[in-house]
Amino acid sequence: MSALFTPIKLRSLELANRIMVSPMCQYSAENGVANDWHFTHINTLALSGAAMFCIEATHVEPIGRITPGCLGLWDDATEAAFAPILASVRKHSNTAIAMQLAHAGRKGSSHKPWDGGQQIPLADGGWRTVAPAALPHKAGELAPEALDSVGLARIRDAFVSAAQRAARLGIDAIEVHGAHGYLLHQFLSPLANQRSDAYGGSLENRMRFPLEIFDAVRSVFPADRPVGMRVSATDWVEGGWDLDQTIALAQELERRGADWIDVSSGGVSPLQKITLGPGYQVPFAEAVKKATKLPTMAVGLITQAQQAEQIVASGQADLVALARGMLYDPRWGWHAAAELGGQVAAPPQYWRSQPSTQKELFGKTSFGAR
């Protein structure tokens, strides 16, 4: 039996396989509100064959967005926009729907990637960002405002409110975004966090706010639904956040009842030097898995079915999350199941699509037209 197509249970959430569609920013919202693009994108990939789809970084307050086009979940309008999308998914797919809750911190107020991705000046509609310290992400940018106790409390409350809204929407799981140079990663990394209070300096202090956010989200999200966290295992910069510190964070998350850790890397500094290659981040996930009993998710240039199978079968990670590979092949899970001898769920309208050599792909036989 294929390891990739064996089930796994996260709290009460039963997943039929070990594949998640990774959260992928679409930069297409309007004032944080999801629209027809998200309806199409989410419904399409909910039929990918992955057992779980994670909605892109969904920001907990307007100034926490990466770009003006990023999704939010901070008021009734942003909450209501998700309802018809999720209703459609539930009608046609049994894929679990997770949501990544996020705050961009000093990497906010940016143009969309296809518009250059640079910081938007205040005079052109940008906004003053916030961060652990008044250090810009890169030279020439407007420095962020260093968060004081009032700001920390506001953001903590915003994560709580977003988690409560996600629960009302029926979201199956939450991933707290602590990676890619965004706010929680900024607190973790000594490159961005140069505070001298209880939230800076030592590893324990730098972990304090991200762990407070995780605890706050976990405390208000239904106890039977899982909450995980995405982290960057290394900054790829000397003197920055690294794998040993990531393991320490993972051990703290394990003690707090985290249901998975999604191990990515980089993003906090433009000085990073990354050697890219297929599965280049998998060794980080493997190291975290060996140091904890926390279900671990591998990400990063995982594109081939046999590659994903090997990652799970060898014990390097418990699950894999695919992003670009899913955009290129929205039926990636179907094709992986056909190659590996697994099964996926599909709507009956599509049963006739399976190749004649794959009669058991959907666990159903094809039907003919009258």
What are 132-156's pLDDT values in tens digits? 999 999 999 999 999 999 999 999 9
**Residue 1 contacts residue 35 (beta carbons within 8 Å):** no
Select from 61, 62, 54, 63 the least CA-distant residue to 26: 54
Scored b (16 or more CB within 10 A) or e, 165-176 reads bbeebebbbbbb
* Positions marked catalytic: 182
For the chain, which domains are there?
A: 8-353 (3.20.20.70)
At 362, is the pLDDT very low, low, confident or very high (cuts 50, 70, 90)?
Answer: confident
**Is the pLDDT assigned to residue 369 strictly greater than 50?**
no
Q: How far apart are CA 89 and CA 104, in angstroms?
A: 28
| Measured CA distances, 364 to 145, 327, 336, 342 (Å) | 57, 26, 17, 13
At 364, is the pLDDT very low, low, confident or very high (cuts 50, 70, 90)?
Answer: low
Q: How far apart are CA 23 and CA 70, in angstroms?
A: 12
User: Angle at which helices 149-169 and 76-92 pack, to 10 degrees?
Assistant: 30
Q: Give the phi and the psi of residue 218 in degrees, each rounded to 5.
A: -60, -35
**pLDDT at 370 (0 to 100):** 45
At 358, is the pLDDT very low, low, confident or very high (cuts 50, 70, 90)?
Answer: confident
Please, is 131 exposed, middle or buried when counting C-beta atoms within 10 Å of its C-beta (0-12, 13-18, 19+)?
buried
